[in-house]
Structure 1
Amino acid sequence: MAGTAKARSAFLDRFEREVDPDGVLAPAERARRAHHARKAYFTRLAFKSAQARRARGGRS
């Protein structure tokens, strides 16, 4: 995991930049919004994955 720490950090920082591109929010509010943005991102990802599995009809 140590080899991917920089990439993982950059990926997670992306959500903070997305919710506060100008850096005007308080750090706690920025973190709260970034947390919700991450949850929404991964929820959409899971939904798309489920749709793709359903479309395949359960084939391996």
Structure 2
Amino acid sequence: TDPKCDLLHDNAKPHTARGRGDGIKKLPTRWQKCVGNAGDYMRSLHKCIRNTIFLENSIQNCM
């Protein structure tokens, strides 16, 4: 499979992102900008994913 697709699938499930630093580094750049250095990483990530149509389209393209 395409490594980019694996990364998308991994990060599409927020509960798999452990630890703020590592999680943010693994996210696609567009998400990194959205999440930023937020104190509440998981809440920001959920909000970011909900608001990112790009995510849904990318995952569909990878299936």
TM over 0.5: no
Based on CA coordinates, which of the two structures has the bigger radius of gyration?
1
Using CA pairs below 8 Å that are at least 6 residues apart, which structure has the higher relative contact order?
2
For normalisation by structure 2, the TM-score amounts to: 0.35
For normalisation by structure 1, the TM-score amounts to: 0.36
